[in-house]
Amino acid sequence: MRRYDLVIVGGGTAGLVAAFGAAGVGARVALVERARTGGDCLWTGCVPSKSLLAAAELAQRIRTADGVGLRPHEPEIDFATVMAHVRGAQARIAPHDSPERLRGAGVEVIEGARGASPARAASQSAIAVSRSGRR
């Protein structure tokens, strides 16, 4: 059994901040993630939604440009390019949230944990992590 000062379940924003912070002060840290580090914010929430909103806001500004003396028009929207913009934003942020960066900071990253809850209490002082059908 491995021993840690801190085990973090989930590599989203809060988990990443906790892992980097604790490792930065010398704690032995493990981070358990069932999918990709970065969490909902990077992959399905904040980053994609803000990227889509930026494109929508710009399209609306073009539609209402007469207020600043420009001829307004209906912009031609290329959704594939908009989505490439979203993926580009994610790609720029992902290295900062990556398992490699965590490992470089001294965090042990346990990837591919299984189940809705990738870790469960095994006792008052231990957790069990299921990975690839093993515990």
Phi-psi category of 60—alpha, beta or left, where left has phi over 0 and alpha has psi -120 to 50?
alpha
Q: Are residues 54 and 93 in the same domain?
A: yes
Q: Are residues 123 and 107 in the same domain?
A: yes
Give the pLDDT confidence score for residue 135 in this predicted structure. Answer: 45
Q: Are residues 83 and 131 in the same domain?
A: no
Which pLDDT tens digit goes with each residue over 23-43?
999 999 999 998 899 999 999
In whole angstroms, how far apart are CA 127 and each of 3, 67, 85, 105, 118?
10, 60, 40, 23, 10
Give the pLDDT confidence score for residue 120 in this predicted structure. Answer: 76
Q: Are residues 49 and 85 in the same domain?
A: yes
CATH code of the domain in which 112 resides: 3.50.50.60
Q: What is the pTM of this model?
A: 0.80
Which pLDDT tens digit goes with each residue over 113-134?
765 566 777 787 888 887 654 4
Q: What is the domain count for the chain?
A: 2
Q: Are residues 7 and 24 in the same domain?
A: yes
Q: What percent of the chain has pLDDT over 70?
A: 93
Q: Are residues 90 and 106 in the same domain?
A: no
